[in-house]
Chain A
Amino acid sequence: MRHSLRLPRLLLNLAIAFMALFILGPLIWLAAHAFVSDWHYPNFYPSGFTFHWWSRVFLDSALSTAMRNSLIISPIVVLCSMVICLPAAYAVGRINFWGRRAFMIGIFSANSFPKIGLFAAIATLYYSLNLMGTFVGVVIIQLLGTIIYMTWIPAAAFAAVPRNLEEAARDAGANKFTVFRTITLRMAMPGILVAIVMSFLAAFDEAQGTYLVGAPSIFTMPTEMYSLVQNYPIQVAAVFSLLLTLPSVLLLSLARKHIMGGQLAEGFQLK
């Protein structure tokens, strides 16, 4: 048995190494370029190490405005999405109403078409509503991409809370609202956290619609990338790209700690 296991093990390790290179390679390339003054073929080594590109990004008014816009708009989008979608998710997860399946599949199928066509149609609507180039317009556009995460994931989380855990709380003297707050919401929280992370990333990374609706008055980090790639040295783009990946990495590592660990991994002793 030992011998026969050795070859698959080697292949597995090779596959993992390849995957790591595939995923991390571009990031390593970006990280390297963010800190070098110049690095071009045929030079094997970069010509020098520098923080110059970082200061350039943070001092450039267009770039720092884009960063500020992104960091303001994305949280607002997530909050709006929570307010709109979480009650719907609860209803879908817990109440068996007519058209429930159609509703869920409808939300899903809206995401299965190319968005650019949808955005073009929205743009004409925006002109008549004077939302073009406005903050609200950008928030709404980004909101669209978060809806699927903020309904599907929390709906599953709400549905998975065992009813008798709520009954036990009712029996212990809690009214319906307290039961929701202390038991249902608390137990659905890991799912909601995942939805928040996914929604934030979806909003933060949204470029097509934001560009169409926001430009030229509102730029976020992803839409600023368009002009960045064309108009700035490649090292500036590298710095900016790293900044763009930062929230994903931070959020996912935070989420991992809160969602994977703790009581949920211990499993419920429930039927």
Chain B
Amino acid sequence: MMSEKSGFGLELRGLRKTLGGRLIIDDLNLSVADGEMISLLGPSGCGKTTTLRMIAGFLAPDAGQIVLAGKDVTELGPDKRPSAMVFQNYALWPHMSAAKNVAYPLKIKGLTKVEIKERVEAALELVNLLHHKDSRPGQISGGEQQRVALARALVQEPDVLLLDEPLSNLDAKLREKVREDIRELQRRLKITTVIVTHDQEEALSISDRVAVMNSGRIEQFSTPQELYRRPATEYVATFIGSLNYFDGKLVGDRVVSGPGVVGIRPEDVIIMPAGSAGSYPGTVELVIPRGHFFEVVVLREDGRFRIFTNDNIPQIGESVHLQIKKALHYENGHLVE
């Protein structure tokens, strides 16, 4: 997703932040390519919102640098930064119409009335809300409010777009559509975008790359596929997706005791009939239809396995052999090849 312009859209260098005597962000480094869309993903309290607020300029870091579109903005206030933010609860001004909300940043810039009207209408058109331009925030739905907030951010033509939990206040049905809309818009406008979210599905499906955060540090920053297939740390492996998780290591198709831990994705296990050569039998405990796949729980001597499969669905109580296609080994929390 790199555009023609070279360099980074956003760089964080050695960021540190203490709030109320607690270290929230510890030596955080992050480089986002120009035009790239990334997510900061993590549980609440991991420092993702603090990071976003430092990028926007609402919090000053104790140490480190923030570089937006090649310009060091660490010392600048939020009004002087080339970033625009969409707040979690949208933060629309209730006393202004949708059009006035979107016009506000342009008025501050001192554009002419004609220019403002043109750009406001273009921005509202972009988010398909031109028909609501005279409605006040209290008169439109949550999804529409969010689009107004998005238009208000985009009308500023920011170098970096910041989205704080953009989908968390929408109902499940709307969420997927809005997610796709945001992605499509971002691709079209090629804006460097940072999304803060605690929802891994959201992060994986919308981003070019995902930064998984844990207690103030970035555990891994890579593409969604990489994050899922090769989680760099034990934390990421257990945080992203489902995982069968045992102490020890995998030798052949068995877990034997050892120094580290082994993680096996539920879809990386093939269920075979028991009794074949060198088989290590297990008993099927549960078969749960999960829509487009089945979840099978198999108990073996070395542990209980959760398997996602569509072929060879066994019966409960049946004796089966498990063939393990792929396993992730971790020692001291880190992936070993």
Is the pair B108, A266 in contact by a Cβ cutoff of 8 Å? no
Q: 11 A-B residue contacts at CB 8 Å? A: A164-B91, A168-B93, A170-B57, A171-B56, A172-B152, A173-B80, A263-B95, A264-B94, A266-B137, A267-B138, A268-B138
Is the pair B77, A165 in contact by a Cβ cutoff of 8 Å? no
Is B78 in the interface zone, CB < 8 Å from A?
yes
Known: A169-B104, A172-B104, A173-B156. A266 touches B58 (CB 8 A): no
Q: Which residues of A have CB within 8 Å of B37?
A: none
Give the residue name and chain of the B residue nearest to A162 (CB).
Answer: B91
Known: A165-B93, A186-B95. A171 touches B79 (CB 8 A): yes
Is B142 in the interface zone, CB < 8 Å from A?
yes
User: Of the candidates B87, B90, B139, B142, which one forms a contact with A266 in the assembled complex, judged by CB atoms under 8 Å apart?
Assistant: B139
User: Of the candidates A164, A173, A187, A270, which one forms a contact with B105 in the assembled complex, judged by CB atoms under 8 Å apart?
Assistant: A173
Is the pair A173, B109 in contact by a Cβ cutoff of 8 Å? yes
Is A61 in the interface zone, CB < 8 Å from B?
no
Q: Which residues of B have CB within 8 Å of A171?
A: 56-58, 78-79, 83-85
| A-B contact sample (13 more), CB < 8 A, given A171-B83, A172-B104 | A162-B91, A167-B87, A170-B57, A170-B77, A171-B85, A174-B104, A187-B93, A264-B94, A268-B137, A269-B137, A269-B138, A269-B142, A270-B89
Give the shortest distance, in Å, between A178 (CB) and chain B (any CB).
7
Most buried by B among A172, A266, A268: A172
Is the pair A187, B95 in contact by a Cβ cutoff of 8 Å? yes
Q: Which residues of A have CB within 8 Å of B152?
A: 168, 172
Listed in ascending order, the chain B residues whose CB lies under 8 Å from chain A are 56-58, 77-80, 83-85, 87, 89-95, 104-105, 108-109, 136-139, 142, 145, 152, 156
Is A183 in the interface zone, CB < 8 Å from B?
yes
Known: A164-B89, A168-B91. A263 touches B156 (CB 8 A): no
Q: Which residues of A have CB within 8 Å of B105?
A: 172-173
The CA-CA distance from A10 to B156 in the complex, in Å, is: 60
Most buried by A among B84, B108, B136: B108
Is the pair A183, B58 in contact by a Cβ cutoff of 8 Å? no
Known: A168-B93, A268-B94, A269-B145. A263 touches B87 (CB 8 A): no
Most buried by A among B57, B77, B91: B91
Give the residue name and chain of the A residue nearest to B139 (CB).
Answer: A266
Listed in ascending order, the chain A residues whose CB lies under 8 Å from chain B are 162, 164-165, 167-175, 178, 182-183, 186-187, 262-264, 266-271
Q: Which residues of B have CB within 8 Å of A164?
A: 87, 89, 91
Q: Which residues of B have CB within 8 Å of A262?
A: 95
Q: Which residues of B have CB within 8 Å of A175?
A: 77, 79
The 5 closest A-B pairs by CB, nearest first: A266-B138, A172-B105, A168-B91, A170-B78, A164-B91
The CA-CA distance from A271 to B90 in the complex, in Å, is: 11
User: Of the candidates B83, B85, B95, which one forms a contact with A168 in the assembled complex, judged by CB atoms under 8 Å apart?
Assistant: B85
Give the residue name and chain of the B residue nearest to A179 (CB).
Answer: B79
Give the shortest distance, in Å, between B128 (CB) and chain A (any CB).
20
Give the residue name and chain of the A residue nearest to B97 (CB).
Answer: A263
Give the residue name and chain of the A residue nearest to B96 (CB).
Answer: A263
User: Of the candidates A167, A174, A269, which one forms a contact with B58 in the assembled complex, judged by CB atoms under 8 Å apart?
Assistant: A167
Is the pair A168, B139 in contact by a Cβ cutoff of 8 Å? no
The CA-CA distance from A259 to B89 in the complex, in Å, is: 25
Is the pair B138, A172 in contact by a Cβ cutoff of 8 Å? no
Is the pair A172, B108 in contact by a Cβ cutoff of 8 Å? yes
Give the shortest distance, in Å, between B49 (CB) and chain A (any CB).
12
Is the pair B89, A271 in contact by a Cβ cutoff of 8 Å? yes
Q: Which residues of A have CB within 8 Å of B109?
A: 173
Give the residue name and chain of the B residue nearest to A165 (CB).
Answer: B91
Give the shortest distance, in Å, between A262 (CB) and chain B (any CB).
8
Give the shortest distance, in Å, between B221 (CB) and chain A (any CB).
25
Known: A165-B91, A269-B145. A174 touches B139 (CB 8 A): no
Q: Which residues of A have CB within 8 Å of B83?
A: 171
Give the shortest distance, in Å, between B86 (CB) and chain A (any CB).
9
The CA-CA distance from A164 to B86 in the complex, in Å, is: 11
Give the shortest distance, in Å, between B144 (CB) and chain A (any CB).
11
Is the pair B108, A183 in contact by a Cβ cutoff of 8 Å? no
The CA-CA distance from A175 to B145 in the complex, in Å, is: 24
The CA-CA distance from A267 to B89 in the complex, in Å, is: 14
User: Of the candidates B56, B85, B94, B104, which one forms a contact with A263 in the assembled complex, judged by CB atoms under 8 Å apart?
Assistant: B94
Give the shortest distance, in Å, between A179 (CB) and chain B (any CB).
8
The CA-CA distance from A270 to B142 in the complex, in Å, is: 11
The CA-CA distance from A168 to B78 in the complex, in Å, is: 9
Give the residue name and chain of the B residue nearest to A265 (CB).
Answer: B138
Q: Which residues of A have CB within 8 Å of B95?
A: 186-187, 262-263
Give the residue name and chain of the B residue nearest to A182 (CB).
Answer: B104
Q: Which residues of A have CB within 8 Å of B136?
A: 263, 266
